[in-house]
Amino acid sequence: MPRHFLLHPAAKPLLFIAGLGPLAWLLAAAVQDRLGANPAEAMIRGLGDWSLRLLWLTLAVTPLREALGLPALARFRRMLGLFTAFYASLHLLAYGWLDMGLDPGEIAHDIAKRPFILVGFLTWLGLLPLAATSFNRAIKALGAARWQRLHRLVYGLALLALLHFVWMRAGKHNFAEPAVYGLLLAALLGWRVGRRWRRQTALA
């Protein structure tokens, strides 16, 4: 049953609609004044949280595909990755607009002054080439091997994103949620290392 659903023509449109769901909820909550005492902060953090969740989901596609025997899951990795870059871009835009009033000088000064914002900005910059080369034409232009090397950088970007999140929460001494993300990322990285080791052992 899951295999048939994953291959259904409606599966990707449904994922696209689901991917827009968090943004729709945040916008509706903002219009209805349901984002709490500091709506700007809630919007910025909400968009950041969803970019993290989507990045982790993107990284989980291959392990889940192999563990569950569902190769069709690979069809959705590109869209999840693009949604990650989309929410990260909105996160940055919301910060620049709602916190800094779209003042380039103030934004540049704040990025240079606060390390966690610098790390977040570098993570966003790293996501851009991955999003820009996620299409079939880019794979053909770069070549499969070069494309794969480029897209392996996503694990380094995930570490930077986690560091950004940890530093952001450190101000309020709230490390519970970052710890969950850290454990999940450790599991995903451990799976990848184990997979490579098994392949090398099989070839030896």
Cα–Cα dist 160/158, whole Å: 5
CA distances from 147 to 38, 61, 83, 134, 150 (A): 42, 18, 19, 9, 5
Give the Å distances, CA to CA, from 144 to 86, 136, 162, 192. 24, 10, 28, 19
Cα distance between residue 131 and residue 104, in whole Å: 24
HSE value, Cβ hemisphere, 13 Å, CA-based, for 47: 24
Q: Looking up tokens 């993570």, which residue turns up?
A: 123
Query: What percent of the chain clears pLDDT 90, i.e. is strictly above it?
Result: 75
Most confident range (mean pLDDT) of 62-71, 121-130, 142-151 is 121-130
- What pLDDT is stored for residue 2 in this prediction? 65
